A and B are shown apart, each in its own frame.
Chain A
Amino acid sequence: MIVGTSGLVLNEKLLFEHSDAGRKGYSLTPLDVPAADLPDGLCREEIAGFPELSEVDVVRHFTRLSTWNYGVDSGFYPLGSCTMKYNPKVNELAARLPGLADVHPATPDHLAQGTLAMMYELQTMLAEISGFAAVSVQPAAGAHGELAGMLTVRAWHEAQGSKRRKVLIPDTAHGTNPATAALAGYEVVPIASEGVLTLEEVEAHMTDEVAALMVTNPNTLGLFETNIAAICELVHARGGLVYCDGANLNALLGIARPGDMGIDVMHFNLHKTFATPHGGGGPGSGPVGVSAALAPFLPGPRVVRDGEAFRFVGTQESVGRMLAFHGNFGIMLRAFAYIRSMGAAGLKHATEMAVLNANYVRARLEGGYHLPYATRSLHEVVFSDRDLPNDCHTLDVAKRLIDYGYHPPTIYFPLVVKGAIMIEPTETESQETLDEFCDAMLAIAKEAEMSPDLLHAAPVRTRTRRLDETAAARQPRLRWEER
């Protein structure tokens, strides 16, 4: 069956274009105290252009906008390195429970024991899953957790009196890695690596100026870094630390633990591995786990247990605070609910099915698309557009997939593969879904041969067709203005 079809899609103006003076979409309880004024000169005039709408206007507006989107609930979302697994509904309910959603972050510890207990248990479960000694749940997203991790690395070095200023980053790394290293005050030294990182490549760069090596394991090609233990030993022997980007942890649950490999620091993406929704670009949550030696330097305060009681504790050595409060608690709660629903066996099963799904897609598409790396991959697989004829490229395949009813895979990443098509199916997709998707991919490869115009014109079934991104950047219009 071809999933993509066309139907009635409704147009919708901008909020501001709907606005009609005097319309209201709210009701406030009448004031039961005398009105008050601010001294002259402090108050603003009414906000020009601010919307005036009824509740019905607002509900229709956002409902229509939602129908222009594609979510995991709409269909298959094979974005590589993003782990777009199904987001369980009970977790949404959990995050909205009275007694959890309405706890103020400045509530004294002894009156917030329920929230602290949850955070403590989450820290403990994440530590067990990853093999680290300590976890801080404060960072708000993956890149924020990365920053927390690299600041922790830096703080550890400073405490040893070490003045190392360089960080090694293989070119298979996520784009956030170099930007993060720079924010922690490090100079980035790229390592050109072919597939799996070798001990020799690391050895050649591992001088006494290098503070850390940043890796992703499995890497962005979906390949397990088979030399990781030896690499960690080497880096440690030369006075450095090893940072692991945890974006691809879904390949390892219950199978292997980064902490056991010798890795010193890793961030988690609760919005990837632990099934919290991506929200159209966040909120995520990016806890960071470390070995025992680095634990005092973690961002804080963190939750500790004193007998039956829980409390927040900061340390003198901590790199400090990453957010105004304790982290994205509502996201932690969803991840907690997920881990408690899955249990140890469930998490391992998830990893096995995620790897099975990726390898199944690989087996079905091999031959139809060029596969640049023959090594057995884990939870994701990278193809390329090398063999596509008639000026058809990865972007065209991606856009044509939309017409077939799928969200495109991650494209043009990792950078080491020209025209990369990076597919991560996750464990929550059935064989039928994968078959339909693979049929679509193969049909598109065939179209590229027979009728390439279909690819170049795609998408044609969406409300808007290909958008002019160059024009958007050349003459930026970043807000609505009254004309």
Chain B
Amino acid sequence: MRYIPHTSGDVAQMLGRIGVGSLEELFVEIPASVRLKRPLDLPPALAEGELLRELKVLAGRNATPENHISFLGGGAYQHFIPAAVDQLISRSEFYTAYTPYQPEISQGTLQAIFEFQTLVCQLTGMEVANASMYDGASACAEAALMAVRLTRRRKLLVSRALNPRWRAVITTYCRYVDLDVVEVGFAADGRTDLDDLGAKLDGQTAAVIAGYPNYFGVVEDLAALARLAQGAGAKLVAGVAEGVALGLLKSPGELGADIVAGEGQSFGIPVSFGGPYVGFFAARMKDVRAMPGRLVGETLDRDGKRGFVLTLATREQHIRREKATSNICSNQGLCALTATVFLSLLGKQGLRELAQQNLAKAAYAKAQLGGVEGVTLPFAAPVFNEFVVRTARPVKDLLAVLEQQGILGGIPLGTDYPELADAFLVCVTEQHRRNDIDVLAQALAGGAA
């Protein structure tokens, strides 16, 4: 095996040094009664070339943007990735390193995380950000738990317009810790229903949690949500599923959010069937000790030189054990690096231009699709790069017809929203050419709708 260097001569010599006669003797402490008495039943080992052939066969059985025009979004977005991103994160000093517990030989990782934390603060308009979470959904669940710690209240108000899979993760995290998760409806324009929220807010509410933009691509009125939540002594958690939107939209911090939990996949990370992605998590400095996850801080070495270390670890599982703010340990370090490289390349102008392109393409698509007979756009509120389309024809049939034309038309909404059984979610990014959008509109006009 090419990954294992031992020759039979090495093994014999090493056994001799240990003072045992066979490899078997090294395992004497494992009782015979719990031993496996047969070889593992696994497929035969493959040589490198064979393995790649087999993987390419698997790859050939998937729909991708190479063989389909795809309008899928809903929390994972197809954006352009500059070549330099993968080249840099493929430096094996980065990707084969462990968690930077030994700062003197981990300064590369540590400085990059410090830069990531800074970029997240700048994007979200918040004061402090951590080293990353598993993904946007789990970050949002952790934000909910942090709000509970901060307020010592037990009720969470979650907007029904927040990504339904994120809501599901919040429910999972809250399942057994005596928390009340209550849904707040959405209004006719696609934004969280402020009246419903007002009616459900009370002295027990720890947090109001809403998407920005929400699952329908709609830009929520975060300032209004913040006023209401904070008026009742609750925290506002903004969940950002599409990070690129922050290139253009007012930052959640500016609008009054207390905690921002987001998904950074759009920043240079391939969609990769759902992961690995990177959750980002930002808050106010006064609340830093209630935050989950790792934090990197600046300090000096013995010679007075600037350096970086993991810090405020007394919040974390390995020190605080059952009293820790979270059990998170490994997070998504390399994906945080990816986002850092991507955002460095795009920079101040590039991120804004990218966001404007997404906005423009979605606006164009909305206009084209909205003009097709049988298609309506149910929500009037402004959107970023996704929007909901309602059709006369059953969504399942319609998407099947589109599929036959090589188009993945969008995500059907009926499973998560019975009230939107006749609707689906269309995502348009800078990767779509005008022609791709026209093809979708024509397919709908040509009878699909």
**Is A345 part of the binding interface, using a Cβ–Cβ cutoff of 8 Å?**
yes
A478, B45: Cβ atoms closer than 8 Å: no
- Inter-chain CA distance A98–B132, complex, in Å, is 27
- Inter-chain CA distance A181–B411, complex, in Å, is 36
B274, A428: Cβ atoms closer than 8 Å: no
Closest to A84 in B: B98
A interface residues, tally (CB under 8 Å): 199
Report A65-106 CB contacts with B as 1/0, cut-off 8 Å: 111111111100101001011111010111111111111111
**Is B173 part of the binding interface, using a Cβ–Cβ cutoff of 8 Å?**
yes
B288, A478: Cβ atoms closer than 8 Å: yes
A468-B300 contact in complex given A323-B135, A342-B45, C-beta closer than 8 Å: yes
**When the two chains form the complex, which single residue of B96, B119, B137, B308 contacts A50, counting CB atoms closer than 8 Å?**
B119
- Inter-chain CA distance A147–B301, complex, in Å, is 37
**Is A28 part of the binding interface, using a Cβ–Cβ cutoff of 8 Å?**
yes
- Inter-chain CA distance A422–B62, complex, in Å, is 44
- Inter-chain CA distance A377–B42, complex, in Å, is 27
A117, B329: Cβ atoms closer than 8 Å: no
- Inter-chain CA distance A34–B334, complex, in Å, is 37
A183-B165 contact in complex given A24-B347, A465-B302, C-beta closer than 8 Å: no
B249, A42: Cβ atoms closer than 8 Å: yes
Q: What is the CB-to-nearest-CB distance from B266 to chain A, in angstroms, rounded to a whole number?
A: 13
Chain A residues positioned under 8 Å from B76 (CB to CB) = 104-106, 324-325
**Is B378 part of the binding interface, using a Cβ–Cβ cutoff of 8 Å?**
no
**Is B447 part of the binding interface, using a Cβ–Cβ cutoff of 8 Å?**
no
Chain B residues positioned under 8 Å from A84 (CB to CB) = 98
Q: Give B341-391 interface residues, CB cut-off 8 Å to A.
A: 341, 343-354, 356-357, 359-364, 382
B14, A360: Cβ atoms closer than 8 Å: yes
A254-B97 contact in complex given A42-B250, A342-B45, A464-B103, C-beta closer than 8 Å: no
- Inter-chain CA distance A107–B104, complex, in Å, is 44
A343, B45: Cβ atoms closer than 8 Å: yes
| Category for how many chain B residues contact A | 35 or more
Report B386-416 CB contacts with A as 1/0, cut-off 8 Å: 0000000000000100010000100100000
Chain A residues positioned under 8 Å from B40 (CB to CB) = 128-129, 253-254, 344, 347-348
- Inter-chain CA distance A316–B59, complex, in Å, is 32
Chain B residues positioned under 8 Å from A185 (CB to CB) = 175-178
B64, A71: Cβ atoms closer than 8 Å: no
Chain A residues positioned under 8 Å from B275 (CB to CB) = 105, 140, 283, 323, 325-331
A345, B45: Cβ atoms closer than 8 Å: yes
Q: Give B160-193 interface residues, CB cut-off 8 Å to A.
A: 163, 165-166, 168-169, 171-173, 175-178
Report A265-294 CB contacts with B as 1/0, cut-off 8 Å: 000000100010111111111000000000
- Inter-chain CA distance A31–B13, complex, in Å, is 67
**When the two chains form the complex, which single residue of A34, A181, A364, A402 contacts B364, counting CB atoms closer than 8 Å?**
A34
A331-B34 contact in complex given A70-B106, A464-B305, C-beta closer than 8 Å: no
A100, B321: Cβ atoms closer than 8 Å: no
Q: Give B44-77 interface residues, CB cut-off 8 Å to A.
A: 44-46, 48, 51-52, 54-66, 68, 70, 72-76
A431, B299: Cβ atoms closer than 8 Å: no
Kindly count the residue-residue contacts between A and B in the assembled complex, taking CB atoms under 8 Å apart. 685
A73, B93: Cβ atoms closer than 8 Å: yes
- Inter-chain CA distance A359–B14, complex, in Å, is 9
Chain B residues positioned under 8 Å from A46 (CB to CB) = 348, 352
Chain B residues positioned under 8 Å from A181 (CB to CB) = 322
Q: What is the CB-to-nearest-CB distance from A125 to chain B, in angstroms, rounded to a whole number?
A: 6
A28, B176: Cβ atoms closer than 8 Å: no
Max count, chain B CB within 10 A of own CB: residue among A77, A112, A176: A176
Kindly specify which of B3-11, B149-157, B195-203, B229-237 makes contact with the partner chain. B3-11
A65, B172: Cβ atoms closer than 8 Å: no
B58, A115: Cβ atoms closer than 8 Å: yes
A32, B36: Cβ atoms closer than 8 Å: no
Max count, chain B CB within 10 A of own CB: residue among A29, A65, A399: A65
A93-B52 contact in complex given A106-B76, A324-B75, A476-B288, C-beta closer than 8 Å: yes
A112, B11: Cβ atoms closer than 8 Å: no
B28, A376: Cβ atoms closer than 8 Å: yes
Chain B residues positioned under 8 Å from A215 (CB to CB) = none
Q: Give A207-226 interface residues, CB cut-off 8 Å to B.
A: 223-224, 226
**Is B26 part of the binding interface, using a Cβ–Cβ cutoff of 8 Å?**
yes
**Is B109 part of the binding interface, using a Cβ–Cβ cutoff of 8 Å?**
yes
- Inter-chain CA distance A467–B75, complex, in Å, is 40
A280-B95 contact in complex given A47-B348, A106-B72, A378-B29, C-beta closer than 8 Å: yes
A146, B134: Cβ atoms closer than 8 Å: no
**Is A466 part of the binding interface, using a Cβ–Cβ cutoff of 8 Å?**
yes
Chain A residues positioned under 8 Å from B251 (CB to CB) = 44
- Inter-chain CA distance A178–B319, complex, in Å, is 11
Q: Give B125-162 interface residues, CB cut-off 8 Å to A.
A: 127-129, 131-132, 134-138
- Inter-chain CA distance A283–B254, complex, in Å, is 31
B27, A430: Cβ atoms closer than 8 Å: no
Chain A residues positioned under 8 Å from B340 (CB to CB) = 15
A28-B353 contact in complex given A99-B59, A102-B64, A329-B273, C-beta closer than 8 Å: yes
B248, A100: Cβ atoms closer than 8 Å: no
Report B103-134 CB contacts with A as 1/0, cut-off 8 Å: 11111110111110111011100011101101
**Is A59 part of the binding interface, using a Cβ–Cβ cutoff of 8 Å?**
yes
Chain B residues positioned under 8 Å from A376 (CB to CB) = 26, 28-29
B271, A356: Cβ atoms closer than 8 Å: no
Q: What is the CB-to-nearest-CB distance from A360 to chain B, in angstroms, rounded to a whole number?
A: 5
Kindly specify which of A198-206, A255-263, A386-394, A443-451 makes contact with the partner chain. A255-263
Given contacts A101-B272, A281-B333, A342-B3, 4 further A-B contacts (CB under 8 A): A55-B84, A58-B345, A108-B399, A329-B274
